[in-house]
């Protein structure tokens, strides 16, 4: 097996989370999917395991954070164009979520943010590294 990244995120309602991310255009790996979890495919070798909270709790002795009041992680995903950033945010809003932070445009990097239905912080960005100021 090649090296892969599997982020693990607790979710309250797996079916609702699957429906939300499907509306954003993501797909899932059925090999890692059952009634307790699913594998959200983010990119080549990059995945997010969406685990029902009760199942997630079996992997840690710590309390699951309350995403209404606490930031647990910032998940940043690069895309190939500024338009793709806007498309994903538009889909998130259409699926019932709101844009979380103001759009940030640094010239060489363009970034927008949403919180998913479980309060996880997702940053979608486009960066043109050739334009990074010296």
Residue 110's CATH number = 3.10.180.10
Asked if the structure places residue 66 within a domain, the reply is no
Q: In angstroms, rounded to a whole number, what is the distance separating the alpha carbons of residues 35 and 94?
A: 26
Same domain, 80 and 54: no
Band the pLDDT of 31: cuts 50, 70, 90.
Answer: very high
pLDDT of 1 over the 80 cut: no
Q: Are both 75 and 130 inside the same structural domain?
A: yes
79 in the same domain as 23: no
Q: For residues 93-98, give the mean pLDDT.
A: 92
Q: How confident is the model at residue 89 (pLDDT cuts 50, 70, 90)?
A: very high
* Average predicted confidence (pLDDT) for the chain: 95
28 & 81 share domain = no
92 inside domain: yes
pLDDT tens track for 42-66: 999 999 999 999 999 999 999 999 9
Domain of residue 108 covers 71-134
37 domain residue, yes or no: yes
């Amino acid at each position: 097996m090649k090296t892969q990244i599997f982020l693990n995120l607790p979710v309250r309602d797996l079916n609702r989370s699957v429906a939300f991310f499907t509306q954003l255009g993501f797909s899932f790996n059925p090999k890692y999917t059952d009634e307790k979890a699913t594998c959200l495919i983010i990119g080549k070798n990059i995945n997010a395991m969406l685990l029902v909270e009760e199942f997630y709790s079996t992997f840690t002795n710590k309390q699951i954070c309350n995403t209404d009041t606490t930031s647990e992680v910032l998940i940043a995903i690069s895309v190939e164009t500024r338009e793709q950033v806007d498309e994903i945010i538009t889909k998130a809003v259409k699926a019932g979520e709101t844009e979380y932070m103001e759009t940030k445009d640094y010239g060489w990097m363009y970034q927008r943010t949403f919180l998913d239905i479980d309060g996880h912080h997702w940053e979608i960005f486009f960066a043109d590294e050739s334009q990074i100021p010296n």
